Structure 1
Amino acid sequence: MSFTVSAAEPLQSPVGVGIIGLSARGGWAARAHVPALEALKGKFELRALSASSAESARAAGQKYGIPLAFGSAEELVRRDEVDLVVVTVKVPHHRRLVEAALHAGKHVLCEWPLANGLAEAEELAGLAARAGVRGFVGLQARASSALRYTRDLVAEGYVGEVLSTSMIASGGAWGPTFSSGSEYLLDRDNGATMLTIPFGHTIDALSTVLGEFTEIAATTAVRRPRVTNAETGESRTMTTADQVAVTGVLET
C-alpha cells in the first residue's frame, strides 16, 4: 500500500533493494522478503543489507550471499546500488530509518505500521512527496490472491447483498505472558501495539474485501495491567490495550 501523496517516477527493473534488519538468525525479513525477492529475480535484486552491528551484518551477508553488508542503516541508504530501502525493524525505529532513506532520495517499503502514530506517518508521507520518491507500507494481506478473489466475488454480487459481518481474533503477544524479546510491545508509547499491528493488518484485510469504513466507533481497554515474562517469571506493567471492540458501517 502506498503512503506517498504525489506521483513519482516509476522504478526501473531490476530494482536494487537494500534491507534494513536482515539477520542471519532469521526474523520477518528472512522469512518473507528474501524468498519474495528470489521469486521476483529479474525485476528486483537484493544488493545490500544492514543489521544491528557490523558482525551481525557480515554473518547475514555470508548467509544470504549479499556482498554489501553494513553495521548501520546510514551506510546502506547512501549506496548508489540501492534504489529501494526496505525497513523491517521494530516500530520505534521506523521514523528515523525511513527519514534517513527518504533524505537519501531512496524509495521506501516500510513494514506496517509506518510510524508511531498518525502525526509521524503524515510527516513521512509529506517528506516522501517532497523528495519525489515512492513510499509503501507492508500490508501484505491485500496482496493475497485468495483475498482479491473474495473481494471480486463480493463486488460482482456473487454472495448477494452483504448485510453484516463479524470478525473475532486474538493477539497472542498481548496475552498474560510475554517473551524477553517482545517486552517493548507492552508499552503503548512504542507504537507497537495489538491495535496497530495485528488489528491493523486484519482490519485492512476486511476492508480490502468489503470496503473502507464510512462510520466507526471503538473502545479499547487494558484488562491485564500486569503480565509475566514466560522465561524468567518476572512481572511487568502493560499499558497497551489488550481488548479492542469496533463497530461501524462499511462501504458495501
Structure 2
Amino acid sequence: MSTFDDFPHNRGDALIAEYKERYGDKTLIAFSRGKDSIAVALALRDKIEMVPFHYDDCPGLEFVEESLAYYEKHLFGRKILRMPHPAFYKHLRDGMFQPVGRAELLAAASIPNLSHSDIVRMVKKQEGIEGEILSATGLRALDNAVRFISIRKHGAIRGTAGNWAPIWDWTKQQLLETIEKSGVSLPADYTFLPRSFDGFSYLYLIPIKEHYPRDYQRILEWFPLAQAEMLRWEINQRFFPT
C-alpha cells in the first residue's frame, strides 16, 4: 500500500523553499474563503508574499464581501483582488436561468470566453508581476483517491498546470487544528451552506434566501429564473418527501 513515504516531494518549509527557488518570493493564491484556502494562507503566511484573488460567482454579494474584508484584515493584510469566475461568464453566454428576451440579448453581446489562465494573466497584469508564477491551492492528497494519485504522479509543484499544493500532505484534522489555533474564523455562511458559495443549486439558494435575502435578490438580478431551481426543489419535496 502506498504511503506518503513513497512520494518524492518536499513538504512544509522545504516545499516552500523549493517553490521560491524555482519561481521567486511571490505566489498567487486563489482564495475561495473555504477552509482549504484559509489553511493554505496560514501555511504560507510570513514565509512568502501572497497575492490573493477571489473568483466571483456572482458579483456584489454582501455576505461574500463582508468575509473578504475580514480576511483582508486578519489574514492577508492587503487587498484581495476580485476577479470574474470563468463560469459566471459561461452561465451568461449559455443563458442559464435567463428569460427568453434577455437570453437573446446576452447571445448577441459577445460575452468573453475566459479561462482560468486568462484570469491569472489579468491578476499578474494588475499586480505588475512579470515572469512565471504559480497559484497556491488547497489540494490535499487525502481528500480522495484521484488527488492522491495526481499528486503522486505530478508532484506538489505543477508548473504546466500553473499551480502548487503547499498543504498536499495535511490531514483534515491538521487543517482544522491549524485554523482553530490561528484564531482566524471560517466565513459565517459556513454554518448553513454545504461549503463556501459555489453555484446556484437549491442547496445554496434556499439558505441564502433565508439568511441573506438581499443577496438572494442580487442573484435574481443576474439570473432571474433561478427561482425555477427553488420551484423544482419544492415540487420534489411535495411528491418525493424525504
Bin the TM-score by the shorter chain: 0.3 to 0.5
Higher relative contact order (CA 8 A, sep 6+): 2
Relative to the length of structure 2, the TM-score reads 0.32
Q: Which has the higher helix share?
A: 2
* Greater fraction strand: 1
TM-score normalised by L of structure 1 = 0.32
